[in-house]
Chain A
């Protein structure tokens, strides 16, 4: 047994910074949002939004410095204390900061009708995950982020600037990157979890949770079957879905979760969960038995990106915000809170200024061995996303 090669990342250090905080994915409102979206969503009540005043089009060409109000829609608990206030002080802008972004697909279901008619969605800047940002960009619903507005864009990591999804990051500005792996409660499993096969251990029957998001849920399953999300085929996705279905029918999988796996894990209902790296740090503060591991066959990256919808009412302010976030000392404050992997290069020094142990935290600064095992999903076509969503939903939704 390659016990030396354990990928369990010691989260103790990180946990210290995160005591009593909750990360953005550890949030319980998913169900409420779903309920509201079902009640008001779909295309049936689309007419309700037609009363909104139409956006006056892009204001990118507006002269002078940014002024007025900036409306930001971000994930819950994805922001450092005092950060927004500091930005307001520095910029003179008023920020209407809302934590109303709970789920990519549900957000899309909510905004697509108004956006398709170029009507205001109540936000000048939103933070969807990259695949969602790419989708709305393809639909023509994003404004470009100007070079003059965001000179700090040069601070971005080169690999993110070289992205195939958005070369040069002209429309999508990465906010945080993080790892999708496995979190487990060692008190419940009684052993270390290393591989996807460990999830199917009969001893863990009914105590495993998978993510209901297609990419985050299936990525590592596909890798355990020798396929890669970098080059996903229908067959590979189908094969992964079949495995999940088989295990679900056996009663192995307790729940398909969104953000709420964390609560079940903390409560001891779930022994092993597909999880986001930053979350586990927060949970470990209360429960040192929790560990985060990248499965031996591989895990995935996720990238959340700041985007400016073409209905924005304050393009300049949105750019000023992105530029402020991309300032290394400012960004270090955010990372110290969220515990995810920085999107800016050379952050170690700034992070160590906040806490000398932050820069060497393997979740914030993952070692090469971990990075080698992390894949990113290919930029899927709309048809592929739809196909894969349908395949996976047939298992998760029924």
Chain B
């Protein structure tokens, strides 16, 4: 009896570890190993033949100096775009998520379905479709031109606006869904209570709804900002030669120039900046008591 209980207890101690094993193995194979390889490459020097170079690991920090000095414009631009897209996503997604959570009633699932529907079409096709919509001779441009709202370039496609718009459009679902989930969880009685205490609509929004939706804001911002920072498809299709992002540079370095250490160093810089940004952001929002 006692022995069986002990082994049961033992088993229940091991069980959680067994359950996370698949995820750990996955992360080990598809994150830790490539990350180690990337970090090592970024600190290596290339030598030997041009197309079959040998990478020698020698703590070559020069790759980082080069990456930062050559491509600082692209790095800054990348984060400006990603930040702009995140803010736009938040501004657009919040009212929508709010309506779905509180006002949609029996149409809730229908609206959620409609939000998800475009994502059944591949990312690439959706981005290319914007080329047609924003084309110089298209009706969007002529309509905006008629009311004098075109950017200084006199076009929409191949401008920063198109790239930021593309990023916003492509990643907004990752803002809507977490926001919806966190708003949905809010007990409506809390809002009623605030009203009973003579709070205005605005005050009950800023003092009740917004603070309680912070986990969603945080999760959504991260889910939009991080992929938007690494994106290169939007800049490629909707941008111009003046709107290249760091992802475009990394792609070019890997596939055309084949300077693997430079490309790896740029990737590490991108990750480091995202990480620092995310840490500052989570700290600013004080998520310890939220998440």
Contacts and interface: CB of A to CB of B under 8 A. Distances in A.
Nearest to B134: A269
A389 B71 CA distance: 17
Contact of A248 (B137, B241, B250): B241
Contacts of A385: 50
Contacts of A398: 70-71, 73-74, 244, 248-249, 252
Given A267-B137, A382-B50, A397-B249, A41 B158 contact: no
Contact of A268 (B37, B51, B137, B255): B137
B50 to A, nearest CB: 4
A31 B34 contact: no
A255 B260 CA distance: 25
B194 interface: no
B158 A206 contact: yes
B7 interface: no
A43 interface: yes
B256 A41 contact: no
A255 B241 contact: yes
A269 B177 CA distance: 36
Nearest to A213: B256
A248 B158 CA distance: 13
Contact of A31 (B37, B124, B242): B124
Contact of A139 (B37, B52, B255): B52
A225 B234 CA distance: 34
A267 B155 CA distance: 14
A25 B249 CA distance: 23
Contacts of A34: 232, 236, 251, 255
B126 interface: no
Q: How large is the interface on A (under 10, 10 to 19, 20 to 34, 35 or more residues)?
A: 35 or more
B51 A112 contact: yes
A42 B254 contact: yes
Contacts of A313: none
Contacts of B244: 397-398
A383 B249 CA distance: 21
Nearest to A116: B52
B128 interface: yes
A178 to B, nearest CB: 22
A390 B253 CA distance: 9
B10 interface: no
B153 interface: yes
B240 A254 contact: yes
Interface in A12-46: 28, 31-32, 34-35, 37-38, 41-45
Interface string A64-107: 00000000000000000000000000000000000000000110
Nearest to A390: B257
Nearest to B244: A398
Q: How large is the interface on B (under 10, 10 to 19, 20 to 34, 35 or more residues)?
A: 35 or more
Contacts of B34: 44-45
A112 B241 contact: no
A206 B50 contact: no
A31 B237 contact: yes
Contact of A106 (B50, B255, B260): B255
B233 interface: yes
Nearest to A104: B256
B236 to A, nearest CB: 6
A263 interface: yes
A393 interface: yes
B136 A269 contact: yes
Nearest to A256: B241
Interface in B125-149: 128, 131-132, 135-137
A37 B255 contact: yes
Contacts of A268: 135-137
Contacts of B124: 31-32, 35
Given A248-B241, A268-B137, A390 B51 contact: no
Contacts of B265: none
A163 B155 CA distance: 46
Given A386-B50, A398-B70, A38 B256 contact: no
Scoring B158, B241, B249 by chain A CB atoms within 10 A of each residue's CB, the highest score goes to: B241
A35 B230 CA distance: 12
B135 A390 contact: no
B50 A31 contact: no
Contacts of A106: 255-256
A255 B158 CA distance: 8
A287 to B, nearest CB: 12
A396 interface: yes
A253 interface: yes
Contacts of B250: 38
A109 B50 contact: no
Interface string A265-282: 001110000000000000
A397 B158 contact: no
B175 interface: no
Contacts of A393: 252-253, 256-257
Nearest to A209: B241
A112 B52 contact: yes
A135 interface: yes
Given A206-B155, A206-B240, A267-B137, A397 B51 contact: no
Interface string B146-179: 0000000111011000000000000000000000
B255 A38 contact: yes
Given A109-B255, A255-B241, A397-B249, A382 B51 contact: yes
30 contacts: A31-B124, A31-B237, A34-B236, A34-B255, A35-B124, A38-B232, A38-B251, A41-B255, A43-B260, A44-B41, A106-B256, A112-B51, A112-B52, A206-B240, A248-B241, A251-B153, A251-B240, A254-B158, A254-B241, A267-B132, A267-B136, A268-B135, A268-B136, A268-B137, A386-B50, A386-B258, A393-B252, A393-B253, A397-B252, A398-B71
Given A268-B136, A269-B158, 4 more contacts: A34-B236, A135-B51, A206-B153, A264-B131
Q: Rank and list the top 4 A-B pairs by shortest CB-CB distance, nearest first.
A: A397-B252, A382-B50, A268-B137, A386-B50
